[in-house]
């Protein structure tokens, strides 16, 4: 007898593919929607085919190694994204839920399939976009690292009669470009420039300013032997450049006289240099100046000092003294005490400062750190 | 380094009895043995573990640059056998861990006294004169499918950041059967299905049982028969069941096959 309207076999008329398997996974019942999806008749599959045989080869691996064990353990699996394969070999993307039919030992399964062509296309687009974004992010990180490498000279050059050491530690994971830089180069047969600075901000626009400052310092250094003059030129160039970034900078000019070195030094928003005497006393060197590219009437002052044997000078960016740890900022006092107690060797002083500041911040520097130390050779 | 806790090792049965080590395959963890392992706890020292990156192993142990081949898993398991000081152990490996078992037995002959290979395949890809059952395209598709199905995986840290109550986190963990971090699962799949251990079989010197499922799409009869022909004096037992996990679909028959093999000696 035909069932009454509205109560006609809900299994058969369900608007989703509906399949029942026995404990071995062989199909014992399949409704009209499922037969339509996979383009077969009931007679062709009931008691003949397993459910797994309607899934792609790859899908079968996932079924056998993950989904069936999960089903067996949790009694239900939900929202599985698979491809059914029709009798003609066509793929039908589906979402599929399955549950064990009875609470007892029988492992027969109820499975429901919903065709998901549009959703699948949409998700494929999302996955593609995510992969592209991941790739772009990796590229950008690699580019940032490369750019940063080009802004920092790998090691200071060899200067006859002068020991020099430098250290650079990027903030955090070091994935962001910009920030601190240093440079050491020759300007005459007997003179060298040591420049160290910090461009405000981060990212690509800061990096281009870093580059601009560095090459401006290089190009004006030969004709402007006075560091304060040189800073004035750099300030003019940076002010004329349409950038929101400014730069703190310290320029030291070292000129060899006989067996000693004359130091001329000017500050632009940078902390004063640290002078460590042969006896170990630490004092500050330099007169405060305005950062370059920031104010309308910049002010730079050159101080001169004759470097004695056994003494050394350290330039550093504010990432050193403003490094934050559990006890607040690292600060000038800690730095002075540290430099006084470190071995009198440019490498030991430079590395010692970098290590102490990193340790103070538990290894996670909040800002870039750049340090250069030089000392006349005995 | 203490490996046992990091591989979530669980031990049952008398400490002085012969050790039997159950190692799960690709997918899920030691819970896969829950219908089989207890049957041996009376007269064996049963050792269960989760492979690096799987189940409830310590995920910080998993470094992708290390686990690029089965050798890394072999080295970990040899180290574990040494740490637990197990000798003459029965190594029961399912699926890819059957081949890990072969490598462990060959590398540490004193530690492994017998091998049980459940649904093994020495190579999944078809090759000239060899039927593994899969093409490279199938494997590509599998990796794509795994990307589409994270099987409920969510970064547990994400839940903590969102402020999930401890009870919810616990619930999450209890229901974590077969969940694997997607990047680890994808790498393990690639290592498993692109591996080729056919040349390692002839070096096996310990008594070996091969448990073959009669209808297994992942490790077909041809794959099991190949291993039987390569390992001298191996015993080949076919269990009438569908699927790749006879220890789940036919646990009674699987236990019986193991018992018969172990009693032989």
pLDDT (tens digit per residue) in B60-101: 889 999 999 999 999 999 999 999 999 999 999 999 999 999
Higher-scoring residue by pLDDT: A79, B160? A79
Q: Is A70 on the interface with B (CB under 8 A)?
A: yes
Question: 10 Å Cβ neighbour count for B195?
Answer: 18
pLDDT at position A255 is 96
Average pLDDT over residues A82-96: 92
CA-based nearest residue to B219, from B201, B193, B237: B193
Nearest by CB to B217, from A64, A66, A69: name it: A64
Token couple for B224:
């099991």
Average pLDDT over residues A74-85: 90
What are the strands, taking DSSP E only, across chain A? 17-21, 27-30, 76-85, 91-100, 109-115, 162-169, 178-188, 191-202, 247-257, 260-268, 273-276, 282-285, 302-307, 312-316, 324-325, 328-329, 369-376
Kindly report the three-state secondary structure assignment for every residue of A123-174: HHHHHHHHHHHHHHHHHHHHHHHHHHHHHCCCCCCCECCEEEEEEEECCCCC
Average pLDDT over residues B153-177: 47
Residues in a beta bridge with A30: A19
Known catalytic residue at B234: no
- The helix/strand/coil state of B42 is coil
B228 has pLDDT over 70: yes
pLDDT > 70 fraction of chain B, expressed in percent and rounded: 89
CA-based nearest residue to B96, from B232, B246, B237, B219: B219
pLDDT at position A176 is 64
pLDDT at position A298 is 94
pLDDT at position A110 is 95
B121 has pLDDT over 70: yes
Question: 10 Å Cβ neighbour count for B263?
Answer: 7
Min Cα–Cα distance to chain A from B85, Å: 31
Average pLDDT over residues A250-279: 94
Nearest by CB to B242, from A24, A82, A127: name it: A24
pLDDT tens digits along A215-226: 999 999 999 999
Q: Is A56 on the interface with B (CB under 8 A)?
A: yes
Contact A60 B218 (CB under 8 A): yes
Average pLDDT over residues B132-152: 88
How many residues can be counted in chain B?
A: 265
Task: Determine which one of B95, B97, B121, B213 is catalytic.
Answer: B95
A47 has pLDDT over 70: yes
Contact B177 A57 (CB under 8 A): no
pLDDT tier at B245, thresholds 50, 70, 90: very high
CB A19 within 8 A of CB A27: yes
pLDDT at position B168 is 47
CA distance A18 to A331: 72
Report DSSP state, residue A26: B
CB B41 within 8 A of CB B12: yes
CA-based nearest residue to A112, from A127, A126, A101, A125: A101
Token couple for A297:
């009437």
Place of tokens 């003019």: A236
pLDDT at position B232 is 85
pLDDT tens digits along A296-324: 999 999 999 999 989 999 999 988 888 88
Contact list, A61 vs chain B (CB under 8 Å): 134, 138, 142, 193, 217-218
pLDDT at position A18 is 96
Known catalytic residue at B216: yes
Nearest by CB to B178, from A26, A58, A70: name it: A70
The ipTM is 0.86
Known catalytic residue at B222: no
The interface residues of chain A toward chain B in range 101-140, judged by CB-CB distance below 8 A, are: 107, 123, 127
Token couple for A221:
């250094």
Token couple for B162:
């969102």
Contact B145 A82 (CB under 8 A): yes
Interface A-B: count of C-beta contacts within 8 A: 86
Which residues contact residue A206 at a Cβ distance below 8 angstroms, ignoring those fewer than 6 apart?
A: A177, A178, A179, A199, A200, A245
Contact A58 B139 (CB under 8 A): yes
CA distance A54 to A48: 12
pLDDT at position B150 is 79
CA-based nearest residue to A346, from A371, A369, A368, A365: A371
pLDDT at position A177 is 64
Alpha-carbon dihedral angle through residues A342, A344, A345, A346, given to the nearest 10 degrees? 80
Contact list, B178 vs chain A (CB under 8 Å): 66, 69-70, 73
* Test mutation, A66, A71, A77, A106, chain B, max B CBs within 10 A: A66
Which chain B residue is nearest to residue A105, measuring alpha carbons? B249
pLDDT at position B174 is 44
Average pLDDT over residues A276-292: 93
pLDDT at position A312 is 95
Contact A61 B177 (CB under 8 A): no
How many residues can be counted in chain A?
A: 378
pLDDT at position A159 is 92
pLDDT at position B165 is 43
Min Cα–Cα distance to chain A from B148, Å: 6
CA distance A77 to A67: 7
CA distance A112 to A91: 17
Nearest by CB to A68, from B135, B177, B245: name it: B245
Task: Determine which one of B44, B94, B244, B247 is catalytic.
Answer: B244
A150 has pLDDT over 50: yes
Average pLDDT over residues B154-158: 46
């Amino acid at each position: 007898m035909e069932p009454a309207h509205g109560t006609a076999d809900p299994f058969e008329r369900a608007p989703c593919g509906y399949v029942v398997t026995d404990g071995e996974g062989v199909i014992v019942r399949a409704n009209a929607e499922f037969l339509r999806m996979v383009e077969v008749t009931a007679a062709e599959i009931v008691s003949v085919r397993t459910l797994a045989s309607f899934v792609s080869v790859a899908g079968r691996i996932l079924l056998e190694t993950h989904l069936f064990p999960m089903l067996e353990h949790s009694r239900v699996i939900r929202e599985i994204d698979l491809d059914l394969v029709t009798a003609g070999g066509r793929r039908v993307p589906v979402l599929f839920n399955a549950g064990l039919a009875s609470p007892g030992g029988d492992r027969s399964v109820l499975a429901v399939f919903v065709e998901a062509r549009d959703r699948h296309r949409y998700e494929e687009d999302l996955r593609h976009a995510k992969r592209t974004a991941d790739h772009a992010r990796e590229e950008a990180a690699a580019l940032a690292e490369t750019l940063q490498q080009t802004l920092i000279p790998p090691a200071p050059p060899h200067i006859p009669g002068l020991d020099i050491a430098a250290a650079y530690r990027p903030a955090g994971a070091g994935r962001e470009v910009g920030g601190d830089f240093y440079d050491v180069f020759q300007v005459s047969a007997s003179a060298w420039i040591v420049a160290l600075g910090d461009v405000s901000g981060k990212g690509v626009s800061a990096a281009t300013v870093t580059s601009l400052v560095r090459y401006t310092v290089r190009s004006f250094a030969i004709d402007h032997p006075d560091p304060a003059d040189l800073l004035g030129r750099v300030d003019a160039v940076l002010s004329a450049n349409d950038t929101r970034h400014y730069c703190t900078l310290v320029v030291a000019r070292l000129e060899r006289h006989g067996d000693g070195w004359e130091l001329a030094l000017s500050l632009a928003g940078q902390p004063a240099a640290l002078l460590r005497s042969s006896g170990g006393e630490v004092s500050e060197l330099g007169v405060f100046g305005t950062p370059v590219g920031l104010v309308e009437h910049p002010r730079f002052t050159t101080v001169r000092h004759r470097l004695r044997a056994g003494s050394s000078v350290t330039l550093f960016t504010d990432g050193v003294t403003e490094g934050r740890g559990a006890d607040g900022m690292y600060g000038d006092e800690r730095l002075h005490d540290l430099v006084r107690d470190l071995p009198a060797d440019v490498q030991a002083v430079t590395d010692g400062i970098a290590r102490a500041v990193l340790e103070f911040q538990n290894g996670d520097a909040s800002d870039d750190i750049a340090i250069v130390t030089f000392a006349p050779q005995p | 380094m203490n490996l046992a806790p990091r591989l979530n090792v669980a031990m049952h049965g008398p400490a002085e009895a012969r050790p039997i080590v159950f190692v799960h395959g690709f997918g899920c963890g030691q819970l896969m043995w829950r219908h089989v392992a207890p049957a041996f706890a009376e007269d064996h020292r049963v050792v269960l573990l989760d492979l690096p990156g799987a189940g409830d192993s310590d995920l910080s142990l998993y470094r992708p640059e290390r686990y690029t081949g089965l050798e890394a898993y072999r080295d970990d398991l040899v180290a574990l056998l040494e740490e637990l000081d197990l000798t003459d152990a029965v190594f029961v490996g399912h699926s890819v861990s059957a081949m890990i078992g072969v490598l462990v037995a060959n590398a540490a002959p004193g530690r492994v006294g017998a091998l049980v290979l459940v649904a093994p395949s020495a190579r999944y890809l078809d090759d000239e004169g060899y039927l593994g059952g899969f093409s490279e395209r199938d494997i590509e598709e599998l990796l794509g499918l795994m990307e589409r199905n994270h099987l409920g995986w969510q970064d547990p840290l994400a839940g903590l950041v969102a402020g999930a109550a401890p009870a919810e986190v616990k619930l999450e963990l209890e229901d974590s059967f077969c969940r694997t971090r997607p990047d680890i699962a994808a790498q393990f799949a690639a290592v498993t299905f692109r591996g080729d251990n056919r040349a390692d079989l002839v070096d096996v010197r310990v008594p070996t049982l091969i448990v073959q499922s009669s209808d297994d799409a992942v490790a077909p009869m041809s794959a099991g028969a190949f291993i039987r022909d390569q390992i001298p004096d191996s015993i080949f037992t076919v269990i009438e069941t569908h699927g790749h996990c006879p220890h789940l679909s036919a646990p009674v028959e699987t236990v019986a096959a193991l018992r018969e093999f172990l009693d032989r000696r």
